[in-house]
Structure formats: structure tokens, C-alpha cells
Amino acid sequence: MTTPNLNTDLDADVWRLEEIAAYLRLPSIKAAYPVVKRAGFPLSIVPGTRNRRWLGAEVKAFLELPEVRKEIVRLDVSKNEEPQIIHKHRKVHAA
């Protein structure tokens, strides 16, 4: 199980995925992806899809909504298991 980066600051004005995962006590940063894609999640202050940043106060306010908290509890059900990657074995033929 991967843990979020220890260099997080939950009191910072601007949050990264690391702070969101740490705030929600998610097992990994990847576990925060469905949260930030959820309808109504605050808009990123950095345009684009990489290295996004959000205002910490807006994120906290959103995550404290009762309907959002219920949904996040459902996401966190499998916190002991990291999603597994299925590798398909390719047959290698001798030349």
C-alpha cells in the first residue's frame, strides 16, 4: 500500500492531490482521483490536467458536505487493497 507524500501541509492555502489524499486519509494519491473528478468539486486554479492545484478552503468546504462524506466513505471501503494491474503474458516464439 502506498501512502500519500509526507510533505503535505493541510493548513496551506493551495492544495495538491497529496493534501487531498492526506486530508481524507486515503491509502494513495491515486485514490483521490475519483474525488477530484466528482461533480461539484471546486475548479482547479491551475489550468490543464497535470499538476492541478485547488484552494484548500474550497476543497475542505466541499469535502465536509454530508452527501460527499457518504460517497467518500464508500470509496474508502477497500483501503487495505491497492488496485492491481493485470499483466498479460505474451508468448515469445523462438526465431
- Could you write out the DSSP letters of every residue in 8-76? --TT-SEE-HHHHHHHHT-SSSGGGHHHHTSTTPPPPSS-SSSS--EEHHHHHHHHTSHHHHHHHHHHG
Structural domain boundaries in the chain: 14-78
Mean pLDDT over 74-95 rounds to 55
Confidence grade of residue 1 (pLDDT, cut at 50, 70, 90): very low
Mean pLDDT over 13-18 rounds to 93
pTM recorded for the entire structure: 0.67
- pLDDT 10s digits, 66-80: 887 777 766 654 444
